[in-house]
Amino acid sequence: MSEARSNDRSQVPPSGGGGGFSEEKLAKVKELISHYPEGKQKSAILPVLHLAQESFGGWLSTETMNYVASLLNIEPIEVYEVATFYSMYNLKPVGKYMFEVCQTGPCMLNGSDQIIDYIKEKLGIGVGETTADGLFSLKTVECLGACGYAPMMQFGKNYREHLTKEKVDAIIEECRQNAAMNN
């Protein structure tokens, strides 16, 4: 590691105001790092990226990834490599509700392409886009390990399975109602 790298863990706060992690979140980062042998702090990269994404608006800006690199005392490119590899990390702002529709073989054979097309039509967005009101984003992902329930999508931390147009309509309505109640 370069001698020029500072150990000041708050030096590169993510954009969007508010600086870096709270003291509580920094303690969580320290606890995550402690799970790995000395000098192997990079092993904490996945959970720290999840924490960063949760904490800074649901996505990882370049500034946020740089901040994570400084916390783990690794090069920013090492964070970019991981964040761009996994579909679970968002590299641009996303809607409040993320529809992650599986598009691999079993789901495709059971109609995921039609579900994706229906969501695009219903919300007026394409894959990788967010509705103008900021409520919904659509993403296609690789296998989510629920092939027996195809077609399916991940919706937050839950799966929605055996999708039909009617089920998609109900999910969208549920989201709209939740958003209206929480405004």
Contact 144, 88 (CB under 8 A): no
Structural domains present in the chain? 23-85 (1.10.10.1590), 97-181 (3.40.30.10)
Burial 104-142 (b: 16+ CB within 10 A, else e): eebbeebbbeebbebbeeebebeeebbeeeebbbbbbbe
Owner of token pair 């509580």: 24
Contact 29, 44 (CB under 8 A): yes
Owner of token pair 């679970």: 88
Q: What is the structure's pLDDT at 9?
A: 36
User: Could you give the CA distance from residue 73 to residue 71 in angstroms, rounded to a whole number?
Assistant: 6
Q: Tell me the pLDDT tens digit for each residue of 85-131.
A: 998 899 999 999 999 999 999 999 999 999 999 999 999 999 999 99
Please give the model's pTM, rounded to 2 decimal places: 0.76
